[in-house]
Amino acid sequence: MARVTASVYTSHVPAIGAALDQGKSDEPYWRPLFRGYDFSKSWLAGQRPDVVFLVYNDHATAFSLDLIPTFAIGMGERFDPADEGWGPRPVPPVFGHPGLAAHIAQSVVQQDFDLTLVNRMDVDHGLTVPLSLMCAGPQGADPAWPFKVIPFAVNVVQYPVPSGRRCFQLGQALRRAVETFDEDLDVQIWGTGGMSHQLQGPRAGLINREWDNAWMDQLIADPAACSRVPHIDYVREAGSEGIELVMWLIARGAMADVAGGAAPQVAHRFYHVPCSNTAVGHLILEDT
Amino acid sequence: MALEKPYQDVPGTTIFDAEQSRKGYWLNQFCMSLMKAENRARFKADEAAYLDGWPMTGAQRAAVRARDLNECIRLGGNIYFLAKLGATDGRSFQQMAGSMTGMTETEYREMMLRGGRSIEGNRFVGEDGDAQAHRQPQGAAGKTSDKEV
């Protein structure tokens, strides 16, 4: 049977992709940020998951204002990096896992979550930057990402966006879905976005280090309480774009302790300011 | 019943809700069109002609031509859509975000290097933080453009 082995949490700032793609990762501005992922790269290489279920948000890339799905699951064989206006990132396409995606869709919809099923879409920095941060490749010899990826896009751009509580419940349904899939697969759930940042208006550049870290503490220790944080708290304390953090609750809801098991082990924790306009947060939780 | 908006007392912040989205529909869809290289080329060659192909308001067209992102957002634009316009100009998210504060690019970058904008005084309208209406514009860029006007 398939199993959830770990969850990974990280910001997905587009400038990180640009810095990597332009070979700037050793510059003094960027070095401290990438150093925070050194552990993660070797950890992931050791874990060798078969599939990563990657929760991210589309930034007006695959979904314009014509169609705004709250939760969209990628069912296809292949998803290409999008041209967001700067040209597509020079990274490999993502290969999906249509069999597991179909099973998750079936299971999660039957558990009362109304997913949008997507067979064709391009994936933007929200999905490719976490892959670049966590994978030692595919720069150089290895031309492909080392695992299958099921993209899962959450609307956090146009209100109404889903509540933290709904995301947390979805994570629980997701764990049940994975655990009932017949194939022997190691699956990781990644929750991305955040942390505090605001990209608009006179309050642009807001960073709230204290709130971010308290929120991360609560996400680890008491995720149910964390899931009850109302939207307005994210907006007020972590900036208008800080609302992306609700996506971390999907990954957290999929951990064993939420289903009555043991508390996860914190394998890694990292926080860094600034990355462009954003506070970067990163966590790895392992089921024990 | 009106749309519930508990976020209106956050200073210097516009939430992209259904009402803003409806106002900005064509402005944002115009921005989406710039994800295609051939459209970026056509837009750059003749901005006015390209904008004429979209049923936007005159104020929206003028805000796009002026690259006034605060005004674009007030008129229903959203930063992730407007980012396509910024990308067409070769600008980063940091340059775009900074342009909305009245700071120069250097001033904004230095604020971020110092740890970003403080939350103190910037949680509620009516406090005294640097994002409050009575403290705009915040930097030399805003002051220069005031003189030019």
Indicate whether this complex's ipTM tops 0.95: no
Whether residue A279 contacts residue B116, with contact meaning beta carbons closer than 8 Å, is answered with yes
Q: Report how far apart, in Å, the C-alpha atoms of A64 and of each of A60, A90, A142, A221, B90 are.
A: 5, 23, 33, 37, 21
Q: How far apart are CA A193 and CA A198, in angstroms?
A: 12
Residues whose CB is less than 8 angstroms from the CB of residue A123 and which lie 6 or more positions away in sequence, other chains included: A56, A58, A61, A62, A74, A79, A80, A81, A82, A94, A151
DSSP-based three-state secondary structure for A21: helix
- Measure CA of the first residue to CA of the last residue in chain B; give whole Å: 42
Is A28 within 8 Å of chain B by CB?
no
Nearest to B84 by CA among A61, A124, A69, A12: A61
DSSP-based three-state secondary structure for B48: helix
Model confidence at B146, pLDDT cuts 50, 70, 90, reads: very low
Whether residue A208 contacts residue A288, with contact meaning beta carbons closer than 8 Å, is answered with no
Is A87 within 8 Å of chain B by CB?
yes
Q: Which residue of A has its CA nearest to B18?
A: A159
Residues whose CB is less than 8 angstroms from the CB of residue B74 and which lie 6 or more positions away in sequence, other chains included: B14
Is A67 within 8 Å of chain B by CB?
no
User: For B30-42, how does the pLDDT look when each residue is reduced to its tens digit (9 = 90+)?
Assistant: 999 999 999 999 9
Q: Where are the alpha helices (DSSP H) in chain B?
A: 18-23, 25-33, 37-45, 47-52, 58-66, 69-74, 79-88, 93-99, 105-113, 140-148
Whether residue A38 contacts residue A134, with contact meaning beta carbons closer than 8 Å, is answered with no
Look at phi and psi of residue B76 and say left if phi exceeds 0, alpha if psi is from -120 to 50, else beta.
left
Identify the H or E element spanning A133.
helix A125-134
Is B113 within 8 Å of chain A by CB?
yes
> Does the pLDDT of residue B1 top 90, yes or no?
no
Q: What angle do CA A187, A191, A193 make, to 5 degrees?
A: 150
Q: Which two tokens stand for residue B149?
A: 């006007």
User: For A216-245, how does the pLDDT look when each residue is reduced to its tens digit (9 = 90+)?
Assistant: 999 999 999 999 999 999 999 999 999 999
Which residues of chain A have a pLDDT value below 50? 140-141
Q: At what angle do helices B25-33 and B58-66 cross, to 10 degrees?
A: 40
**B-chain residues near A67 (CB < 8 A):** none
pLDDT of amino acid A139: 55
* Residue B17 to residue A158, Cβ atoms within 8 A: yes
> Does the pLDDT of residue B25 top 60, yes or no?
yes
Other beta carbons less than 10 A from residue B52's beta carbon? 11
Is the dihedral angle over the CA atoms B143, B144, B147, B149 positive or is it negative?
negative
In the chain, the amino acid numbered B3 is L
Is the dihedral angle over the CA atoms A135, B91, A88, A63 positive or is it negative?
positive
* Residue A205 to residue B98, Cβ atoms within 8 A: yes
* Residue A157 to residue B80, Cβ atoms within 8 A: yes
**CA A242 distance to own-chain centroid:** 14
- A158 → closest Cβ in B16, B32, B84: B16
DSSP-based three-state secondary structure for A9: strand
In the chain, the amino acid numbered B43 is F
Active site residues of A: 125, 197
* Residue B13 to residue A160, Cβ atoms within 8 A: no
* Residue B37 to residue A273, Cβ atoms within 8 A: no
- A277 → closest Cβ in B15, B78, B94: B94
Is B81 within 8 Å of chain A by CB?
yes
Q: pLDDT averaged over chain A?
A: 96
Q: Which residue of B has its CA nearest to A207?
A: B116
More confident residue, B143 or A128: A128
Phi/psi of residue A55, nearest 5 degrees: -85, 125
* Residue A232 to residue B32, Cβ atoms within 8 A: no
Is A276 within 8 Å of chain B by CB?
yes
pLDDT of amino acid A142: 56
What number of C-beta contacts closer than 8 Å exist between A and B? 164
Q: Which two tokens stand for residue B16?
A: 């992209």
* Residue B115 to residue A240, Cβ atoms within 8 A: no
Whether residue A205 contacts residue B116, with contact meaning beta carbons closer than 8 Å, is answered with yes
Burial of B146 (0-12, 13-18, 19+ CB in 10 A): exposed
Whether residue A51 contacts residue A97, with contact meaning beta carbons closer than 8 Å, is answered with yes
* Residue B92 to residue A276, Cβ atoms within 8 A: yes
Q: How far apart are CA A137 and CA A121, in angstroms?
A: 23
Mean pLDDT, residues B74-96: 95
Mutate to test the interface with A, among B70, B74, B117 (most CBs of A within 10 A): B117
